[in-house]
Structure 1
Amino acid sequence: MADLVSPSDHRVFAGVELGGTKGIALVWREGAIVDRYKVPTTDPDQTLDQLGRWLAKHPLRNAFAGLGIASFGPVRLDPACGDHGRILATTKPGWSGAAVLASLAGRVGCPAAIDTDVNAAAIAEHRWGAGQGCSSLVYLTVGTGVGGGIAIDGRAVHGALHPELGHLRLRRAAGDGFAGVCSFHGDCIEGLICGPAIAARFGGSVHDAAPDDPRRGFLAADLAELLAALILMLAPQRILVGGGAGLGVPGLLDGAIARLPAILAGYLPELDLSALRMMIGPPALGADAGPLGAIALAIDAADPEPACAA
């Protein structure tokens, strides 16, 4: 892993990773996380207040040069919009409309930036992890939900909103009648392979199912369809797959990769099984990809790129 900071940079940065099940506030100084605080993600008032109060009372609070927020989505990222920094319509009860950026930035009084948790993780992996040197990188997480961040030349992809890869509706495996759990789309890819979907498929823990249980094959087939779509749509040099739900299912990622040559059907002959296994793998930053993504956003908030000349 590359050094996280220039040896001459002694500034202090704060970050918040706001996930579907937990929120983490952290303080970073001279290339290392020096303090962190974790709370469960409950209702927005309680969760954001706990994280904000911890940052506001931190002994290094007056030294914060920037704050980065890596949040679950969908979240408005366009600063020109009146709801900038707010959660949009979400499956997370009570969080639609939550003012994440304003609630946290108002506690610290320093430059602040917000992006999705997966976009932030993609940026961190590009700078310091397994995506270094990649002009096209996808960070995919399979957890409480399914999300994907895309970094092109180290910059997160934004547009009318931000990528919502988890809500793609893809080809289903023959014989799979599972309806899916997404409250918006039913059997979008999030509705098929996220943590709650895995629990619903197996009526509890996947670990209690036999190794040859066909439902395991359906999960792998669904993930393989998503990986194939990303390969064909984005031509990534690396796809990094994180998240406790997906990687917690033994053999899921390997099983999905093994299905890719058949799905691609010889269209990209250079992507044989060996090449696919080199392309697709775990993030180098592990569970800290999201928190370090928040720090990357904080650094960028403190050091914005110069405006283009007119």
Structure 2
Amino acid sequence: MAEQQLIGALEAGGTKMVCATGYADGTVLEREQIATTTPQETVEAVNAWFADKGIAALGIGAFGPTAVNPASPQYGKILETPKTAWRYFDLLGTIQNELNIPCGYDTDVNVACLGEVTFGCAQGLTDVVYLTIGTGVGAGVLSGGKLVHGMMHPEAGHILVTRDPRDTIGEHSACPFHDNCLEGLIAGPGVKKRWDGKSAGDMADDPEAMDLLAGYLAQALMTYTLCYAPQKIIIGGGVADHTPIVPLARKKCAEMLNGYIVTPEVNDIDSYIVNNSLEGKQGIMGCLALGAQALQ
């Protein structure tokens, strides 16, 4: 029975690698964190952790940008990341050559989306956007039942939003590429830049701060609603988990749409734009689902 085969899950993040074992039904048996340092040191530690676990396959969700299309010559490599030591590192190849098992490979946000669709609040849906707001902003997109890859993968955290005239962040946002993108204005570094090193959680009781961040998020949610036409939008990550910006942005998004989209989903906006449902485990559970697919 394929269900009973042990599967490995690797959530490969910019600050930490979460290694786990479990089953195709989403059960997590063991998990451990390994700090993300140099590629060689980190991947050696990851391979060593999985080496004697007896896993039949491994699902990997990697920080991006990364090449997720198997047809790409760069497939499995990290691309133009700000973490310069990792640029063009062959993450998938280095792990697969050592462990010699089938591996599924996608972005960390795509696997979190897969986790919510397989085990969480989006079960049975074919079109879903999963947004994470933390150190950065990333989006995983399921369209027509398939995770979206295209020429690379969605980088919907970097869409342009209109600056709020009240914003005190200064001329440059916290994104080194764009001064008016969602990530530069609402992710952790932008929050710190604006409010003297404080985190979003520290600012959660400040109504004006929350209103500012929620306004930017609402603009993005309107764009995703119009462009991806998802059946549900799910939001995770530290900034969303530790502040009230999701309910605030949900209300603002409905106001911005201004009655233009009339569907059962948008009419029930409280069920349409939601916080994540798997208590931070959506990534690891999505990796298990991806590993199970790789077995087939």
- More off after superposition, 66-75 vs 205-214: 205-214
1:85 — aligned with what?
76
1:46 — aligned with what?
41
Matching of residues 100-115 of structure 1 within 5 Å: 100-115=91-106
AA aligned opposite 2:174: V
Q: 1:283 and 1:211 mapped to 2: Cα distance?
A: 21
How many angstroms does 1:30 deviate by? 6.5
Matched, 1:119 2:105: no
Deviation readout 1:206-258 (Å, 9 max, x if unpaired): 45548455333211111111111111111111111111123222x11111112
2:285 — aligned with what?
292
Q: 1:88 and 1:8 mapped to 2: Cα distance?
A: 33
2:260 — aligned with what?
267
Matching of residues 13-32 of structure 1 within 5 Å: 13-29=7-23, 31=25, 32=27
2:224 — aligned with what?
230
Residue 199 to residue 246, structure 1, CA distance change in 2 (3 Å): farther
Where does structure 1 lack aligned partners over 5 or more consecutive residues?
A: 1-6, 304-310
**SS across alignment from 1:197:** helix
Matching of residues 1-310 of structure 1 within 5 Å: 9-29=3-23, 31=25, 32-56=27-51, 58=52, 60-61=53-54, 64-178=55-169, 179-205=172-198, 206-209=200-203, 211-212=205-206, 214-249=208-243, 251-270=244-263, 275-303=268-296
- More off after superposition, 261-270 vs 107-116: 261-270
**SS across alignment from 1:94:** helix
CA-atom RMSD in angstroms: 2.1
Residues 59 and 289, structure 2, Cα contact 8 Å, conserved in 1: yes
Deviation readout 1:238-287 (Å, 9 max, x if unpaired): 111111123222x1111111211221122124579861111011222221
Q: 2:210 and 2:278 mapped to 1: Cα distance?
A: 27
AA aligned opposite 1:223: L
Task: Give the aligned length.
Answer: 292
Q: 1:232 and 1:8 mapped to 2: Cα distance?
A: 39
Q: 2:194 and 2:151 mapped to 1: Cα distance?
A: 34
Residues 201 and 239, structure 2, Cα contact 8 Å, conserved in 1: no
Q: 1:210 and 1:109 mapped to 2: Cα distance?
A: 46
Q: 2:24 and 2:201 mapped to 1: Cα distance?
A: 41
Deviation readout 1:119-138 (Å, 9 max, x if unpaired): 11111211111111212111
Residue 207 to residue 146, structure 1, CA distance change in 2 (3 Å): closer
Q: 2:212 and 2:253 mapped to 1: Cα distance?
A: 14
Residues 20 and 144, structure 1, Cα contact 8 Å, conserved in 2: no
AA aligned opposite 2:186: I
TM-score by length of 1: 0.87
How many angstroms does 1:71 deviate by? 0.6
**SS across alignment from 1:80:** coil
Residues 194 and 246, structure 1, Cα contact 8 Å, conserved in 2: no
- More off after superposition, 233-242 vs 261-270: 261-270
Q: 1:151 and 1:36 mapped to 2: Cα distance?
A: 27
TM-score by length of 2: 0.91
**SS across alignment from 1:26:** strand
% same residue: 34
How many angstroms does 1:118 deviate by? 0.8
Q: 2:207 and 2:70 mapped to 1: Cα distance?
A: 48
Q: 1:260 and 1:158 mapped to 2: Cα distance?
A: 26
Q: 2:287 and 2:181 mapped to 1: Cα distance?
A: 28
1:3 — aligned with what?
none
Residues 62 and 106, structure 2, Cα contact 8 Å, conserved in 1: yes
Residue 9 to residue 211, structure 1, CA distance change in 2 (3 Å): closer
Residues 142 and 245, structure 1, Cα contact 8 Å, conserved in 2: yes
Where does structure 2 lack aligned partners over 5 or more consecutive residues?
A: none
Residues 214 and 245, structure 2, Cα contact 8 Å, conserved in 1: yes
AA aligned opposite 1:155: K
Q: 1:76 and 1:272 mapped to 2: Cα distance?
A: 33
AA aligned opposite 2:139: G
